[in-house]
Amino acid sequence: MRPLFSILLLSLLFASASQAQIGKRFKFSTGYSAYLLETGTKVSPAHALGISPQFNLWQPRGNFSVAFVSPITAGVHFRTKVLGNMFFFSDIPLMGEINYGHFATRDFRKWWGVFAGAGYSFQSVGTRWQYGANVSAGFRFGLFGKSFTVRYARFFGENFGDYLSHRLTLEINLGRFLKDVASKNKLQKFERPFQ
């Protein structure tokens, strides 16, 4: 099932590339993630830094897109009373996502936006790899001339004994095109009363 999902995802990615230049569909963010790792009745925090590349597969208008996104993180779980050992931690999700509003495309017109998605995730916990379903939702907004994303994600491991995780992420959205969007939005607000 997993190879079929990967083939389908890659074929969608390459099929959409023929519609427009790849660079106009690619965006990314970077930031900090706080995890709560669950195993049985034990819950313990982990901390990570990450990058979230996003490739829009379909963007029919400026405030809407369907995208492939992979919010990758790497971090550490420090020794706690609940889980007595320190270990490195990484998360590699492969997800489809629906975006509306802020940062949905490179030509968005809203200062706020929302998104939701689902997919499959691969996590390394210490020396062990685990995999399973991943769901994600959040919002994006502009503040003080910058663009931000707040994301909540939930990982469900496939095997008994896997760590389950809750993830809360704060990212800054990056790209030179954000300055162009700000000037376009100011121009649009200026022109609207005269139409």
Confidence of residue 6 (pLDDT cuts 50, 70, 90): low
Q: What's residue 107's pLDDT?
A: 75
| CB under 8 A, 24+ apart: contacts of 77-85 | 77/35, 77/37, 77/44, 77/45, 77/46, 77/47, 77/125, 78/47, 80/44, 80/45, 82/42, 82/43, 82/44, 83/37, 83/39, 83/42, 83/44, 85/126
> Which of residues 179 and 20 earns the better pLDDT score?
179
Q: Other CB atoms closer than 10 Å to residue 33's CB: what's the count?
A: 24
d(CA 6, CA 160): 24
Q: For residue range 132-166, what is the model confidence (pLDDT) as tens digits? A: 999 999 999 988 888 899 999 999 988 877 788 99
CATH class in words for 2-194: mainly beta
d(CA 13, CA 68): 8
Look at the block and give the residue holding tokens 């992420």: 169
pTM to 2 decimals? 0.79
> Which of residues 83 and 48 earns the better pLDDT score?
48
Q: What's residue 69's pLDDT?
A: 95
**Any idea what DSSP says for residue 180?**
H
Q: With 0-12 CB in 10 A as exposed, 13-18 as middle and 19+ as buried, what is 124? A: middle
Whether pLDDT at 29 is above 80: yes
Whether pLDDT at 188 is above 60: no
Domain residues of the chain, as ranges? 2-194
Q: For residue range 91-130, what is the model confidence (pLDDT) as tens digits? A: 999 999 999 988 888 777 788 999 999 999 999 888 889 9
Give Cα 62 distance to the centre of its chain. Answer: 19
